């Protein structure tokens, strides 16, 4: 009886270690990558003299990096983070929701977590969403331009 219990415990431990190893082999968004993304987004915003907040979240929608450029309104902090979370949750740019609403598909407005304002872009490794960037502070098209600059920095080697 004790031997069966010991073997069962040992197998459980092996499975737990195996699952942990598999989870660690999944691509993740690192702080280094998030910083590189924010740097590229900030460069685009600065080049255009736009005051924005840049939020980079991981694959679970949790904040990894936040940058508020001098003079950016406080309300843009929450908006940038929500745009990034929306891009992770729905695996698409928030512009897709903005376009849907603009074309009359207002049901999008009822989707919990869907932000129908341009400026959130998912970050992909293959077909897996590992995070997202969200930008807020200027016109939504401009937020989108800044977010796109950040996302491009993620895809570069």
- CATH label of the domain that carries residue 64: 3.30.450.150
Does residue 5 have a pLDDT over 50?
Answer: no
**CB proximity list for 31: less than 8 A, separation 6 or greater:** 64, 65
Measure Cα distances from 79 to 4, 113, 122, 136 in Å.
55, 12, 16, 6
Q: What is the pLDDT of residue 24?
A: 58
The answer to whether residue 9 sits within a structural domain is: no
Question: Binning pLDDT at 50, 70 and 90, where does residue 15 land?
Answer: very low
Say which residue, 121 or 19, is predicted with more confidence.
Answer: 121
Mean residue pLDDT of the chain comes to 88
Predicted TM-score (pTM) of the model is 0.83
Could you tell me the sign of the dihedral formed by the alpha carbons of 55, 141, 71, 43, in that order? positive
Q: Give 26-71 pLDDT, tens digit per residue.
A: 899 999 999 999 999 999 999 999 999 999 999 999 999 999 999 9
Could you tell me the sign of the dihedral formed by the alpha carbons of 130, 135, 141, 147, in that order? negative
* Residue 37 in tokens: 């993304």
Could you tell me the sign of the dihedral formed by the alpha carbons of 122, 39, 82, 52, in that order? negative
Query: Taking each helix axis from N to C terminus, what angle separates 95-102 and 75-90, rounded to the nearest 10 degrees?
Result: 90
Q: What is the domain range of residue 94?
A: 27-155
Domain count, the chain: 1
Does residue 100 have a pLDDT over 90?
Answer: yes
The answer to whether residue 59 sits within a structural domain is: yes
Does residue 11 have a pLDDT over 70?
Answer: no
The answer to whether residue 129 sits within a structural domain is: yes
């Amino acid at each position: 009886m004790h031997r069966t219990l010991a073997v069962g415990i040992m197998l459980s431990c092996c499975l737990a270690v195996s699952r942990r190893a598999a989870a660690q082999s999944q691509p993740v968004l690192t702080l280094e990558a998030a910083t590189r993304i924010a740097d590229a987004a900030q460069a685009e915003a600065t080049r255009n003299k736009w005051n924005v907040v840049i939020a980079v979240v991981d694959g679970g929608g949790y904040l990894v990096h936040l940058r508020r450029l001098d003079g950016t309104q406080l309300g843009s902090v929450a908006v940038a983070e929500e745009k990034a979370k929306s891009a992770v949750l729905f695996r698409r740019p928030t512009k897709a929701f903005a376009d849907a609403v603009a074309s009359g598909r207002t049901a999008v407005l009822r989707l919990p977590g869907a932000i129908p304002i341009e400026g959130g872009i998912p970050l992909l490794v293959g077909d897996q969403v590992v995070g997202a960037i969200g930008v807020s502070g200027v016109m939504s098209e401009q937020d989108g331009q800044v977010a796109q600059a950040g996302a491009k920095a993620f895809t570069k080697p």
